[in-house]
Structure 1
Amino acid sequence: MLLEVALNGNRDHPATPRTPAQIAAEARSAIEAGAQLLHFHPYDAPGRETFDADDCARAIRAVRASCPGIPISLSTSATIEGDPEKRFRQIAAWDEMPDLVTANQGEDGIIELCELLLSRGVGIEAGLLSTEDARLFVASGLAPRCRRVLIESLETDPADALRDAETMERIIVEAGIRLEQVHHGEGVASWAVNRRAVTRGHGIRTGLEDTPVLPDGRQARDNAELIAAAAAIIAQASQGA
């Protein structure tokens, strides 16, 4: 069962890593706590998320040196660059490629961006942030070329998040898409989504990008503490199987 860590995003938390050295250190700690796949957003020198080729390369190299052999996933989110043409040009300039990217299926220009990255040997984690994203993904025909699908509820109420995740999963399964699924959510609701996913045999994701709090609502110390909590959920489910 895959356990993925999302190390940073734009989370305002004391342990959110931004420099290559910080990202590499948090990545190492998360792997030691049980993570199997590393997702992160590179930052530029002033502290902004970026697609700049040099900044991305520095972050990737630092993490690969710290965590050799562990797959790396970068973001392609429109929240980092909202102009789809500019985003495409920036990512086309990458010369140090990640193993994977997350690609949110509801964003303008995402199919063209996926085609570019696939042509360069980069795997696609298809991000579904809503039921509409799930329907768009089904209609796109991209699924056979993707590595996995991310069920990513943005609802912050646990009950709403569970309904959202269930609906997105149903849309994907009823379309005959058999891709590996990784589920996660936002804030404390992410833990409800994680628990449901584990009982259904799906992978899960956690980390400071997704939630700053532990299952009991306490602020997490860092990514490693979040991963340890997620690993415990997986272990408990395995013991009960």
Structure 2
Amino acid sequence: MARIGLFLQVALNGDSAHPDTPRTPDQIAAEAVAAVAAGAESVHIHPFDEQGQETLNAIPCAAAIRSVRAACPGVPISLSTSDAIEADVDRRFELISNWIEMPDLVTANQGQEGIAELCNLLVNRGVGIEAGLLSVEDAKAFVTSGLSALCRRVMVEPLDAKPDDAIRHAEMIENIVTEAGITLEQVHHGYGIACWDVNRRAVARGHGIRTGLEDVTVMPDGHQATGNADLVVEAAAIIRQANQE
């Protein structure tokens, strides 16, 4: 494996506009295989329904999980619980309550309404929590909530399009968490071209990183990636170079 010592997750799809974004269970599994072969240790996926829409419905979620597990045995699978998929808090809780095949992990964005109840539900069903911190406000809410005791890791995910802004916000989020004495593993990523700068900063500070078509569709030089494996190879090279230095 190309990565040395630091965690590397791939986010395979989400609402990415990349033409080769995987959406069916078979497509997601194939991309997972390629990404794991390139160095990813965990895969984060968004299942899609028959109409091609992201969904939290139990049946397509189970189909996607089973397909990836069969193709990549032993590789931890993370699902989204985002309110961008289902905005209604009660409906979102109901859909996730009905899951019949549990992922290993979920990302749980800490700025969402009802996040404490959702985290407790999933922990009680044996699912690890990746606490998503998209802003300084999310980080502050996470610190005061006491939910860190339930979580596996912290995901530092600044939304800024400009690299300098994304790096600044990643630093602010990180500082809020660490100054509160929360010692959970941190995994950092950004969106678009800024993802690479956030990744490089994180690796230099000893944190894990995430890449993949959900987060970024272009390589560091700006040309379009052919798929998730391209992005993972580049992210793994950042980790390898940092270790060599």
TM-score range, shorter chain: over 0.9
Return 5+ residue gaps in structure 2 as ranges.
Answer: 1-5
TM-score, normalization: structure 2? 0.98
Aligned position for 1:71 = 76
The whole-number CA distance in structure 1 between the counterparts of 2:194 and 2:15 is: 18
1:120 alignment partner, one of 125, 133, 136: 125
1:107 aligns with 2:125: no
1:37 aligns with 2:49: no
Aligned position for 2:242 = 237
Corresponding letter in the other structure for 2:62: A
Corresponding letter in the other structure for 2:28: I
Question: How many residues matched?
Answer: 240
1:216 alignment partner, one of 209, 221, 224: 221
Corresponding letter in the other structure for 1:102: T
TM-score, normalization: structure 1? 0.99
Instruction: Report how far residue 144 of structure 1 moved.
Output: 1.5
Corresponding letter in the other structure for 1:149: V
Cα deviation code 1:66-119 (max 9, x no counterpart): 000000000000000000100000000001000000000001111110010011
1:175 aligns with 2:194: no
SS in 2 for 1:182: strand
SS in 2 for 1:147: strand
Cα deviation code 1:148-202 (max 9, x no counterpart): 0000010010000000000000000000000000000000000000000000000
Superposed, 1:107-186 pairs within 5 Å as 107-186=112-191
Aligned position for 2:3 = none
The whole-number CA distance in structure 1 between the counterparts of 2:65 and 2:165 is: 35
Return 5+ residue gaps in structure 1 as ranges.
Answer: none
1:22 aligns with 2:27: yes
SS in 2 for 1:177: coil
2:63 alignment partner, one of 45, 58, 63: 58
Corresponding letter in the other structure for 1:173: T
Aligned position for 1:3 = 8
The whole-number CA distance in structure 2 between the counterparts of 1:140 and 1:129 is: 16
Instruction: Report how far residue 15 of structure 1 moved.
Output: 1.3
The whole-number CA distance in structure 2 between the counterparts of 1:220 and 1:31 is: 16
Corresponding letter in the other structure for 1:182: V
**In angstroms, what is the RMSD of aligned CA positions?**
0.4
Corresponding letter in the other structure for 1:216: D
Corresponding letter in the other structure for 2:135: S
Cα deviation code 1:35-75 (max 9, x no counterpart): 00000100001100000101100000000000000000000
Aligned position for 2:18 = 13
The whole-number CA distance in structure 1 between the counterparts of 2:222 and 2:116 is: 37
Aligned position for 1:196 = 201
1:225 alignment partner, one of 222, 230, 236: 230
SS in 1 for 2:156: strand
